Structure 1
Amino acid sequence: MKRLFVLLLVTVLFSCKNDTKKEVKKENFPEVLSKVFTKHGGLDNWRNQKVISFNKGEEAHTVDLNSRKTTIHSPEYSLGYNGKEVWLMQKDSTSFKGNKGFYYNLYFYFYAMPFVLADDGIIYEEVTPITFEGKEYPGYKISYKANVGTSPDDNYFVYYNTETFQMEWLGYTVTYFSKKATTKANLIRYNSWENVNGFLLPKAITWYKKDENGQPTETSGKPVDFTLPLVSQGQLSDSFFEKPME
């Protein structure tokens, strides 16, 4: 009887342990956004990837998808984030004209849409659709819990095609410099995509002007093109993201 009790106890403990392993993290994003993620290659597939890279003009961007460590290399300058600090190397003091802390992950966020909208600490809220050329695009506002990231007051607005569930537009606010919340949102059209290792990623993005009601009207400047895309399960060493020796 004693041996039977021990056997039953072990069986129960083993079962509980297995049940714990089977627990799946419950996502908190709206069901319709799940369809958007699926359209673009699937969130589970995305989370199995380790590295993403792309070129923007002469800049070669490489990002570790888990740690978000980053490098950007161009003929005139290099900058990156090694997990602790943002570094910059340039030929002279005028080679890089932006703010390194703001810029290092800016185009990664634009390029890795819509998958970065499933990061931890995000709050979702349905918003009024936008209309362009007679077609309506429903949307969701993405905001962040306090103390998430360097600009937790930033907001994103993703708008999708109701027939294909493909992402079509992105609105976003910038609070990095002011550190204050704002309702002034920029608007980008995502209407050029390509298949990269099973993921639908942007080939080009275009900024748009808006009317007094926040509806897109016409382009604002030339499109930004992305080339040489790569999404990989290969892991890069930490040294890849360190500042090169001068």
Structure 2
Amino acid sequence: MLKKSIPFLLLLFAFKTIQGQELTATKLLDRSIAYHDPEGNWKQFQSILHINLEMPDRPTRKSEVYLNLPKQVFGLKTIQDTITTYRKLENGKCSFSLNGKTELDSTEIKKHRADCERTTMYRNYYTYLYGLPMKLKDPGTIIDPKVEKREFKGKEYLVLRATYDKNVGTDEWYFYFDPETYALKVYQFYKDKTKNDGEYILLTDELETNEIKLPKTRVWYYNNNDGYLGTDDLEKVVDINK
């Protein structure tokens, strides 16, 4: 009786192996997007993100990030200690103010990086990280077709590797997904992996707005020594249209 059961067990094992191999990078990404943005609302995102950033030996930085994706309008107000800055990018035009003052001298402009290049960088930063994993569908993103199973900080994940066209970016990114829910739990990037540089970011808790699940708390560390960089907390999201 035992001998007869062996071929069946082998067949069952083979079937499970094939099932596991069926999860391609495309399917994993689609499942994660279905978890975070089941109604496909990200492209119409119009809200203000209220974010508190805690860093070692620095005062808390409070940010209000204005994102109107359909109209391509970005605004960022930051308050840290006694300094309040506001920058905006709309229709290719940038503006900047420092404690309410818009006429700045060259020293102030340099110190606070009150230029359009910096504002564009902030726009890309916030729309990319809060738009994950949906942003991995953007043109210029190259997803490795292989899904890797990896243990990271004592937990098992399904991992996607992403690189980018040269005109989009040069960093190498890894995205870690919960193997059961497909929620995005960690992301990690390298500028030069051979040097183990770059950072990893742990995502905990979620805040749901307009049926989109956003990471509430992100904790940042260096790859090379696990050094703590900071924690940003998404305090609330305010719908622009309400």
- TM-score, normalised relative to structure 2: 0.66
Change over 3 Å in CA distance of 1:186–1:159 after alignment to 2: same
The equivalent residue for 2:228 is 220
* From 49, 63, 81, the counterpart of 1:54: 49
Paired residue type of 1:191 = T
Question: How many residue pairs align between the two structures?
Answer: 191
Deviations 1:16-45 (A, max 9, x none): xxxxxxxxxxxx971111000011122633
Output the CA distance in 2 between the equivalents of 1:129 and 1:97. Answer: 41
Which amino acid in the other structure matches residue 158 of structure 1? F
Change (3 A) 1:189 1:139: same
1:102–1:45 distance in 2 versus 1, CA, 3 Å: closer
> Normalized per residue, which structure has more helix?
2
Letter in 1 for 2:33: F
Partner residue of 1:96 out of 112, 135, 143: 112
Q: Is the 8 A contact 2:42 2:131 kept in 1?
A: no
Q: Does 1:64 align with 2:68?
A: yes
Match of residue 153 from structure 1: 170
1:239 maps to none
| Residues in 2 aligned to 1:82 and 1:200: alpha-carbon distance in whole angstroms | 26
Q: Is 1:192 matched with 2:205?
A: yes
Describe how 1:166-205 pairs up with structure 2 within 5 A.
Answer: 166-173=183-190, 182-183=192-193, 184-205=197-218
Indicate conservation of the 8 Å contact 1:197/1:230, yes or no: no
Aligned equivalents of 2:27, 2:207: Cα separation in 1: 24
The aligned amino acid for 1:96 is H
For residues 220 and 86 of structure 2, what CA distance do their matches in structure 1 show?
A: 26
2:162 equivalent in structure 1: 142
Per-residue CA deviations over 1:142-186 (Å, capped at 9, x if unaligned) read: 2223434xxx32333211010111101011346xxxxxxx33331
Q: Please give the alpha-carbon distance, in whole angstroms, between the structure 1 residues aligned to 2:230 and 2:222.
A: 12
**Aligned equivalents of 1:56, 1:229: Cα separation in 2:** 9
Counterparts of 1:101 and 1:45, CA distance in 2? 23
The one-letter amino acid of 1:144's match is Y
Deviation at 1:85, TM superposition (A): 4.1
CA contact under 8 A between 2:47 and 2:239: conserved in structure 1?
yes
1:130–1:86 CA distance, 2 compared to 1 (3 A): farther
Distance 1:116 1:136, change over 3 A: same
Q: State the Cα RMSD in Å.
A: 3.1
| Partner residue, 2:137 | 118
Q: When the two structures are superposed, what TM-score results if normalisation uses the length of structure 1?
A: 0.65
Q: Percent identity?
A: 19
Q: Give ranges in structure 2 of 5+ residues lacking alignment.
A: 1-23, 53-61
Q: Residue 227 of structure 1: SS of its match in structure 2?
A: strand
Q: What is the DSSP-based 3-state SS (H/G/I as helix, E as strand, rest coil) of the residue aligned with 1:120?
A: coil
Residues 34 and 219 from structure 1, CA distance in 2 versus in 1: closer, same or farther, beyond 3 angstroms? farther
